[in-house]
Structure 1
């Protein structure tokens, strides 16, 4: 009986292309990340032609620059209505709250907390019984709840 001899390719010797491919697979992502990071630092983001390279002193001057505080719309509305409460009666302020919520439906989820705050402030300014007289069903009677919380 005669057996044929077949040559088997050994997996460990696939040639230099395999080694180069593995090296590129390891090195290429690192090179791409570093070159992208360096490119971003070299872009002139300011719009002025001078000083397009970002240096460490630029970073510290940017960090020490005064920051503008952005207030949420509900905080702006609450502050505006609180200051208006000192000038006008709570009925007018509640009307303005309802108009603001009708005009901007995204404020509806903050309506109860704003009305409750207005109720507590109205008790401090007008007294409990007078503040209660202005209560109406704005934001599920939260104004009256605020008046009641500040009262007792």
Structure 2
């Protein structure tokens, strides 16, 4: 009798984890409260789990950093100085200087209004900052 009990115990020890894993996977496949109208069903899959994020371009990082400085209360004239310093330090950013300066001009209008924002204008990237201010004013 003990031999039969051991045999059943061993069989359960092998089969039970497989059943639990399968039932758990099926439970994740579809849940009743999920919106299936878009015909997307969540499945337990390892596909595309470790796809690295696309690195951001240096000019995008700089633009976001400088816009953040403006949002934190730094005066536009100082932010424009930082832009000029970065372009001087990394000449590859010169192609993007105009777009960054315009974005700073538009953000300055949002923060200070068109008249006050224009008072911060400096000859960084020609007149791009002023152009950004004018487009919002």
Same topology, TM > 0.5: yes
Alignment of 1:62-73 (within 5 A): 63-73=48-58
CA distance in 2, matches of 1:121, 1:113: 12
Deviation string, structure 1 residues 74-121 (Cα, Å, up to 9, x no partner): 000000000001220000000000000000000000000000000001
1:79 corresponds, among 53, 64, 82, to: 64
2:36 matched to which residue of 1?
A: none
Tell me by how many angstroms 1:141 deviates: 1.1
CA distance in 2, matches of 1:108, 1:85: 20
2:127 corresponds, among 135, 141, 147, to: 141
1:106 corresponds, among 65, 79, 92, to: 92
Aligned length: 92
Higher relative contact order (CA 8 A, sep 6+): 2
Q: Does 1:131 align with 2:103?
A: no
CA distance in 2, matches of 1:73, 1:62: 30
State the TM-score, normalized to the length of structure 2: 0.64
1:61 matched to which residue of 2?
A: 46
Max Rg structure? 1
Q: Which runs of 5+ in 1 are unaligned?
A: 1-59
Give 3-state SS (helix, strand or coil) of 1:77's partner.
Answer: helix
State the TM-score, normalized to the length of structure 1: 0.58
Q: Which runs of 5+ in 2 are unaligned?
A: 1-44
1:97 matched to which residue of 2?
A: 83
Tell me by how many angstroms 1:72 deviates: 0.2
